Amino acid sequence: MTAQSAAAPGAAAPKPPAQPGRWKGRALTGALMLPATLWYVVLLVAPILIVLVFSFGKRSRTGGYTPGFSFDNYASALNTADPFLTSLFLSVVGTALCLLIGLPLAYFIATRATKRKALLIVLLVIPFWTSFLIRTYAWLLILGPDGVAGFIGDLTGNATFRILGTEPGVLLGLVYGYLPLMIFPLYVTLERMDRTLVEASKDLGASRWATFRQITLPITLPGLITGSILVFIPMMGEYVIPQLLGYGQVYTIGNLLYSRFLEARNWPSGSALGVGLILIMLVVVTVYVWFTNRGRTVRDVSVV
Amino acid sequence: MTDRDRELEAMLARMSRAKVSRRGFLAGTGLAGLSAFIAACSGTSATASPTSATPSQAPAASAAAPSGEASAAASVRPSAQAVTETEGTLLMYNWADYVDPNNIEKFKTDFKVDTFTYDVYDSNEELLTKLQGGATGQWDIGAPTAEFVEAMVEGSFIEKLDWSKLPNAAYIDPQFQNFYKGDKADLNNYHLPKDWGTTGIALRTKDVQEDVKTWKDFFDVAPKYSGRIVVVNSPGDVFVAPLKALGYSLNSTDPGELGKARELLMGLAPHVLALDSNTYQDKLADEEAVMGLVWTGGIDDLRSKPETADTKYVIPEDGTLYWMDTWVIFKDPPHPNSAYAFLNFIQTPDIQAQETVTNRYATANLEAAKLVPQDLLNNPTIFVPADVLASGKLEGAQDVSTDPLRVQIWEEFSSSIGKK
């Protein structure tokens, strides 16, 4: 033990005298971090603080904001559970669907598609070359009465069959729009996975399912969590897809926020809803991360 | 290029066009970028107006009359003298594609303006928000919708117009110039009417047998065409239908009247296919919707195509809303002379007539209307028949969209669409 601690890099060793090089290093680190720090402070922290302050204020006569302090906006936000629930339902189901579709695909690209790997990744990126709005508009034509819905309607003899303006239609748009954001983090973690662990598991007689559950899934977890959060959060606040593909029949929190800010020009009330939305996201994401990590901690301990 | 591609491109071209997109939700979603993308794809300029007039349609465009000497000045304000010397620069902030590019070129030549910038906003709210954020002094002129003039005057964001520099203002129909009534009449000294249009009912007459003439008829037949009705996603326009069907002012904030309007709206909600400000024309085109509470944008296109020629635009007889966009000069304009020169120039009758031909919105300029081709004057999606205009059935919108009860009813209505 003594030999080991002697060999260990001196955590407790006296600090070396300050060198000009070290100071320069710090300055460099600071300079390099400055753009990102500014970015977050100006574009993330400050706006959230503004929203928070606005949410306690009052609407001025011509719209906008008048300073004030009341909880009225929050009280009225509590009366709007339905759109919150619709958004929550869509984003939870949408995230689950992305995971169901994304995980096998990411696994395939990372482990099986040796020669075509680059091609498949490029194919995943290609949709991003077209504007998000245009791609969503394209779905209007594809799924519309002259497209898939009409075709299915003809086949089944149900002339009123529709995909657009229904929750499944909106879900399809959401999954289409955000699937790549799920696949990429999964792919990165699966790509780095040590394949010998899987082989070892097989050698030791574990079934495919047991190997997946005990080896692949835990290793994929960081990517899975990142991907789920990347997909869940924008889905929760999504406005364009429900509005276009949902025909306004699927009324989400995004619709309500739009109405409060732009139609009613009631920024304080919209801000209170925004704070509510942020809180719900924080709670859901925290619970999710805690839940998915729980098993992992236990397993780590058991390994020791 | 397949039909699908063409359809998509047509859809996007329409989106980028003035009225539909500018009243729609696309506010802030980056239409400019979208248009640029289309332009890159198709190799044509997206800023070229899709309805740009053929030169032959244009009224014999004689030289513009910057001094306002144009014919038959009905009641030229005495002593009004147009500005002829400009600062050589004009900074405009306006809806997209809302001024004929040829007229801009002509203005630049005639008034020796080298720098003419055309910045674009997508909604009145965006314009108002920028001004509230302290953007005065950044532009010379703009064209908000008339009901926003009040908030802009209240915030001191726009200048009182000096009528002595605007001789061509004499051509403006007084009923449009006097948009604000009663004790708000002074607000009319802050704006110069640009274009106007109506909210109405669109019908596919091959599907809808009934002769829908009024908002009351609209509500009566709605259950029969359940699930095939499209409504623009705009509370100010949607409230017009129940309030006018009941015989009230479309600007009503009276709780009793709104309560009755609410009943009509909630009765309509289950039968509505979509709240859609941007592609309602497409829903009407493929008969997904056969009846609509709509703006005029795009209806003209449907009528001109053989397969959708049965489309009809009805200006309801129980009265409806007219919207009006109106020129303003922003507070402390950097180039006041250019601003006055342009406002007067654009109201020169032949120039203004060309604007109407290009933009396909009705002009408030009576002399210019005389020069507009007859087929445009007779087109109900552009001009309103003279007898309807005279009947006083049209009502301008006031800024009541923020009334709490209206907001509450609107949210209730829009979250009940299609739910039986």
pLDDT digits (tens, 9 = 90+) for B21-60: 333 333 333 333 343 343 344 433 333 333 333 333 333 3
When the pLDDT of each residue in chain B is averaged and rounded to a whole number, the result is 83
Q: What share of chain A is helix, strand, coil (3-state, %, to 5)?
A: 75, 0, 20
B374 interface with A at CB cutoff 8 Å: no
Tell whether the model's pLDDT for residue A213 goes beyond 80. yes
What confidence score (pLDDT) does residue B48 get?
35
B275 interface with A at CB cutoff 8 Å: yes
Give the closest of B8, B279, B287 to A138, CB-based: B8
pLDDT band at B96 (very low <50, low <70, confident <90, very high): confident
B7 interface with A at CB cutoff 8 Å: yes
What confidence score (pLDDT) does residue A172 get?
95
Residue contact A263–B129, C-beta within 8 A: no
Distance in angstroms (rounded) separating the CA atoms of residues B195 and B353:
11
Q: What is the ipTM of this complex?
A: 0.76
Give the residue-averaged pLDDT of A58-66. Answer: 75
B 195-234: CB under 8 A from A: 227, 233-234
B184 interface with A at CB cutoff 8 Å: no
Residue contact A259–B274, C-beta within 8 A: no
Give the closest of A145, A249, A266 to B274, CB-based: A249
Query: CB contacts < 8 Å between A and B, how many?
Result: 104
B379 interface with A at CB cutoff 8 Å: no
- Of the candidate ranges B66-75, B140-149, B317-326, B357-366, the one whose mean pLDDT is the lowest: B66-75
What confidence score (pLDDT) does residue A298 get?
52
What confidence score (pLDDT) does residue B16 get?
53
pLDDT band at A73 (very low <50, low <70, confident <90, very high): confident
Give the closest of A144, A251, A264 to B407, CB-based: A264
Looking up tokens 């003298």 gives B81
Residue contact A63–B151, C-beta within 8 A: yes
What confidence score (pLDDT) does residue A127 get?
87
What confidence score (pLDDT) does residue A115 get?
83
pLDDT band at A267 (very low <50, low <70, confident <90, very high): confident
Distance in angstroms (rounded) separating the CA atoms of residues B134 and B114:
27
Give the closest of B12, B233, B287 to A248, CB-based: B233
Backbone angles phi, psi at B274, to 5 degrees: -155, 145
Distance in angstroms (rounded) separating the CA atoms of residues A190 and A187:
5
Three-state SS for chain B is CCHHHHHHHHHHHHHCCHHHHHHCCCCCCCHHHHHHHHHHHHCCCCCCCCCCCCHHHCCCCCCCCCCCCCCCCCCCCCCCCCCCCCCCEEEEEECCCCCCHHHHHHHHHHCCCCEEEEEECCCHHHHHHHHHCCCCCCCCEECCEHHHHHHHHHCCCECCCCHHHCHHHHHECHHHHCCCCHHHHHHHHHCEEEEEEECEEEEECCCCCCCCCCHHHHHHHHHHHCCCEEECCCHHHHCHHHHHHCCCCCCCCCHHHHHHHHHHHHHHHHHEEEECCCCHHHHHHCCCCCEEEECCCCHHHHHHCHHHCCEEEECCCCCEEEEEEEEEEECCCCCHHHHHHHHHHHCCHHHHHHHHHHHCCEECEHHHHCCCCHHHHCCCCCCCCHHHHHCCCEEECCCCCCCHHHHHHHHHHHCCCCCC
B420 interface with A at CB cutoff 8 Å: no
- Residue of B7, B38, B414 to mutate, interface with A, max A Cβ within 10 Å: B414
pLDDT band at A97 (very low <50, low <70, confident <90, very high): very high
Beta bridge partners of B323: B197
Residue contact B415–A258, C-beta within 8 A: no
Residue B32 to chain A, least CA–CA distance (Å): 12
In percent, the amount of chain A with pLDDT more than 90 equals 47
Tell whether the model's pLDDT for residue B113 goes beyond 60. yes
pLDDT band at B15 (very low <50, low <70, confident <90, very high): low
Give the closest of B273, B410, B418 to A259, CB-based: B410
Residue contact A248–B417, C-beta within 8 A: yes
- Of the candidate ranges A17-31, A156-170, B150-164, B338-352, the one whose mean pLDDT is the lowest: A17-31
